[in-house]
């Protein structure tokens, strides 16, 4: 009896054979601006690769080579309330100190709605 109960529990916990097969994408596209790769699985697209941000917290940011992000509302960002600015580089938004030009925070990837 215990073997039967164990077998039933084991059968319920293991995935069905059709679930063991890996899903294969039917096509992939690369976004040239960001380098991100999206692949189609059935009727949905899935982000396959995410490029790491170019700068990390504490890194010197080339503020003179970049433009400040001015349309904060368009990106859903709160207003600037201190000695720092938003910058957009390669699809990643950074919060950068206005005094030291060091990255204070990597906000992440955002696109305009």
Give residue-wise pLDDT tens across range 26-71. Answer: 788 887 776 777 888 888 887 776 667 889 999 999 999 988 999 8
Question: For residue 16, is it within any domain?
Answer: no
The average confidence (pLDDT) of the chain is 79
Q: In what order do the strands lie in the sheet with 103-109?
A: 84-89, 92-97, 103-109
Question: For residue 14, is it within any domain?
Answer: no
User: Who wins on pLDDT, 107 or 2?
Assistant: 107
- Overall number of domains in the chain: 2
pLDDT at 35: 72
User: 102 and 74: one domain?
Assistant: yes
CA distance 60 to 99: 11
Q: How far is CA 16 from CA 6, 10, 12, 19, 24, in A?
A: 17, 11, 9, 5, 18
pTM comes to: 0.57
Left if phi > 0, otherwise alpha if psi is -120 to 50, otherwise beta: which for 108?
Answer: left
3-state secondary structure 68-101: ECCCCHHHCCCCCCCCEEEEEECCEEEEEECCCC
User: 82 and 45: one domain?
Assistant: no
Beta-carbon count within 10 A of 62 CB? 13
User: 69 and 47: one domain?
Assistant: no
Domain hosting residue 93, numbered range: 63-109
């Amino acid at each position: 009896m215990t073997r039967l109960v164990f077998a039933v529990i084991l059968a319920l916990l293991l995935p069905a054979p059709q679930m063991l097969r890996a899903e294969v994408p039917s096509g992939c596209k690369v976004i040239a601006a960001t380098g991100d790769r999206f692949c189609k699985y059935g009727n949905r697209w899935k982000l396959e690769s995410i490029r790491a941000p170019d700068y990390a917290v504490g890194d010197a940011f080339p503020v003179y080579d970049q433009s400040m992000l001015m349309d904060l509302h368009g990106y859903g960002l709160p207003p600037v309330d201190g000695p720092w600015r938003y910058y957009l580089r390669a699809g990643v938004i950074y919060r950068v100190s206005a005094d030291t030009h060091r990255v204070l925070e990597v906000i992440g990837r955002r696109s305009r709605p």
